[in-house]
């Protein structure tokens, strides 16, 4: 197909980062988790901080994240990653401790740990993957499930009277004095991936400069849980998730971004 003269090391412009292990990720085809993992790993590689990076993995779909990042890692109890990361980073202040959590982990069972780690301004990077559903347990309603969205535990659509409102926890965290950088990104196309990577890089740079908590939400898909093809899920996400969870920076350099 291609001229073999092109496929030479000197012409290489992109290859999988070595900060990811060779383990095949268990995520469903097309799941954003893989892309987000890759971006974090690429940032770690580019910043040369693999020896200082410590991953705190959650409970949920990304429970096995520690098998994919080739960095020292800890698996947290459900929702407790920010508490665990707090201790690691305080005990190793020159390291790069980061949490990786889904919406159920971070915004339901771990809400207290999330808010207090952010409010203390722990010098950690928090990656929050919001796909509006509990993927691992089979597609139940999450704190971030949209109104009207059908899940295994809201089979007729999320009803505010019955289920309450979706939680915009990232907006809430942007209001806390401890957060230095709060942003919402996505990874459904090349442009959004580049932006998301820039945001993750910014978060780790802030940590290096000991600025406090950097929080990166990535609105992502769950094509299995949403019962769509990956491409259709990304389109549905753009049409339905983004209006409720608008993308962009909410807080930069400790200052709220006015919209």
Partner 1 sequence: MAIKGAIVFDVEHCKGCGVCIPTCPNQVIAFSKNVNNKGYNYAEAVNDNCIGCTSCAMVCPDGVITVYKVKL
Partner 2 sequence: MAKELKLMKGNEAIAEAAIRSGCDGYFGYPITPQSEVMEHLMAEKPWEKTGMVVLQAESETASINMVYGGAGAGKKVMTSSSSPGVSLMQEGMTYLAGAELPCLLVNVVRGGPGLGTIQPSQADYFQTVKGGGHGDYRLFTLAPATVQEMYDFVFLGWEMAFKYRNPVMILSDGAIGQVMEKLYVTDYTPRWTNEEIAEKCPWSTYGKPSTRKHNIITSLELEAPKQEEHNHKLQAKYAKMEEDEVRYEMVNCEDAEYVFVAYGSSARIAEKAVQLGREKGIKVGLLRPITLFPFPKKIIAELSTKVKGLLAVEMSAGQMVEDVRLAAQFRCPIEHFGRFGGVIPTPHEVLEALEEKIIKA
| 86 binding partner 2? (CB under 8 A) | yes
Task: Answer yes or no whether residue 13 interacts with partner 1 by CB under 8 A.
Answer: yes
β-partners of residue 98 are 55, 125
Report the SS3 class of residue 258.
coil
| Smallest distance, partner 2 to C-beta of residue 69, A | 7
**Tokens representing residue 218 in the block:** 């990535």
Name the nearest CA neighbour of 139 among 127, 129, 149: 149
Binding track, positions 18-57, relative to partner 1; x by CB under 8 A = --x---xx-xxxxxxxxx--x-------------------
**Pairing, β 133-134 against β 140-141:** antiparallel
Angle, helices 32-47/190-208, rounded to nearest 10 degrees: 50
Say how many CA atoms lie within 13 Å of 100 toward its Cβ: 28
Site residues for partner 2, window 1-60 (CB under 8 A)? 21, 50-54, 56-57
Residue 103 vs residues 90, 95, 133, 169, 220: alpha-carbon distances, Å = 25, 26, 7, 9, 10
Which of partner 1, partner 2, none lies near 13, with the C-beta cut-off 5 to 8 A by kind? Answer: partner 1
Q: Which is nearer to partner 1, 25 or 115 (CB)?
A: 25
CA distances from 9 to 15, 38, 41, 61 (A): 10, 21, 21, 35
Among 25, 47, 67, 140, indicate the residue that binds partner 2 (CB under 8 A).
67
Which of 20, 34, 38, 66 touches partner 2 (CB under 8 A)? 66
Binding status of residue 16 toward partner 1 by CB under 8 A: yes
Q: Which residues bind partner 1 (CB under 8 A)?
A: 1-3, 5-8, 11-17, 20, 24-25, 27-35, 38, 187-190, 193-194, 229-231, 234
Q: Which residues bind partner 2 (CB under 8 A)?
A: 21, 50-54, 56-57, 63-64, 66-67, 69-77, 80, 83-88, 90-92, 95, 112-113, 116
């Amino acid at each position: 197909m291609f001229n073999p003269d092109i496929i030479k090391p000197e012409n290489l412009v992109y290859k999988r980062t070595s900060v990811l292990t060779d383990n095949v990720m268990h995520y469903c085809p097309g799941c954003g988790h893989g892309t987000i993992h890759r971006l974090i790993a690429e940032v770690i590689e580019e910043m040369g901080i693999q020896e200082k990076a410590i991953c705190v993995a959650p409970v949920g779909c990304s429970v096995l994240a520690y098998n994919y990042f080739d960095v020292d890692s800890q698996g947290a109890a459900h929702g407790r990653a920010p508490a665990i990361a707090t201790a690691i980073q305080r005990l190793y202040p020159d390291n790069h401790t980061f949490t990786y959590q889904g919406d159920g982990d971070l915004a339901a069972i771990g809400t207290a740990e999330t808010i207090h780690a952010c409010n203390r301004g722990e010098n950690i990077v928090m990656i929050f993957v919001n796909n509006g559903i509990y993927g691992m347990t089979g597609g139940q309603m999450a704190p971030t499930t949209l109104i009207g969205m059908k899940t295994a535990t809201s089979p007729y659509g999320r009803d505010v009277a019955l289920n309450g409102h979706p939680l915009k926890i990232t907006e809430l965290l942007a209001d806390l004095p401890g957060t230095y950088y709060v942003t919402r990104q996505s990874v459904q196309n090349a442009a959004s991936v580049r932006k998301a990577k820039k945001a993750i890089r910014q978060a780790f740079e802030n940590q290096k400069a000991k600025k406090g908590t950097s929080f990166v939400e990535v609105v992502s898909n769950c094509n299995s849980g949403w019962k769509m093809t990956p491409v259709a899920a990304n389109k549905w996400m753009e049409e339905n998730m983004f209006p409720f969870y608008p993308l962009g920076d909410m807080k930069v350099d400790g200052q709220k971004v006015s919209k």
